[in-house]
Amino acid sequence: MVRYGDPGAIDWIESGGGPLIVIPEESLSAWRGADGEDWKDYDRACAVDGHVGLIAVGQSHALVLGFDPASTAFLPNPGAFVRWIAADSEEELLDSVEGALASVVWEETVTWDVPGPVVLLDSACPGGGVHEDERLRVEMAAGRYRVQAAEVTPAPRTTLCLVQFVPVT
């Protein structure tokens, strides 16, 4: 069994200061980010108010992870992004996820139609030119998902934001 905190088990994506974005892989090349003089896509991502929001990209929508430019990882089980707001260590943060999920009161919810695998990256990066180590590919089955988000503080020195995907049947 792989524990979340095992070395190399978790890949974290960071931002240069703006929001992170989750883009359907099939629409990745349509995302311009803050490329050259054209910052329209990045500006749209920055305009999202809240933990999560949807914006049009190509023929689909992308999910903006707003508020804090926190380091973010995806945990396949429970199907959630974990955003590192505060913790003394990665192990401490990841060890608190299960308890946080058991007691969380979801603050925001959006419904997202996902066409298949998605890619997490800094919203300033153009999708077509983002380097492998600056993005995280997440296998997702095509379908409709309820995306629920909340910031939780499971311990006095640990705060994280959870963004969980729940299939809508």
* Euclidean distance between CA atoms 163 and 52, whole angstroms: 8
Query: Does residue 25 carry a pLDDT above 90?
Result: yes
Per the prediction, the chain carries an average pLDDT of 91
Query: Does residue 2 carry a pLDDT above 70?
Result: no
Query: Does residue 67 carry a pLDDT above 90?
Result: no
CA pseudo-torsion sign 148, 22, 118, 114: positive
Query: Does residue 122 carry a pLDDT above 80?
Result: yes
Record the pTM: 0.92
Question: pLDDT value at position 8?
Answer: 60
Model confidence over 140-156: pLDDT tens digits? 999 999 999 999 999 99
Identify the residue with better confidence: 1 or 163: 163
CA pseudo-torsion sign 11, 15, 19, 22: negative
Identify the residue with better confidence: 26 or 128: 26
CA angle 124, 150, 75 (to 5 degrees): 70
Within 8 A by CB and 6+ apart from 6, the residues are: none
Read off the pLDDT band of 21 (50, 70, 90).
very high
Question: pLDDT value at position 69?
Answer: 85
* Euclidean distance between CA atoms 158 and 60, whole angstroms: 35
Report the pLDDT averaged over residues 107-131.
Answer: 94
Show the beta-strand stretches assigned E in 10-122: 20-24, 52-57, 60-65, 71-75, 80-86, 108-114, 118-122
Backbone angles phi and psi of 9, in degrees to 5: -80, -25
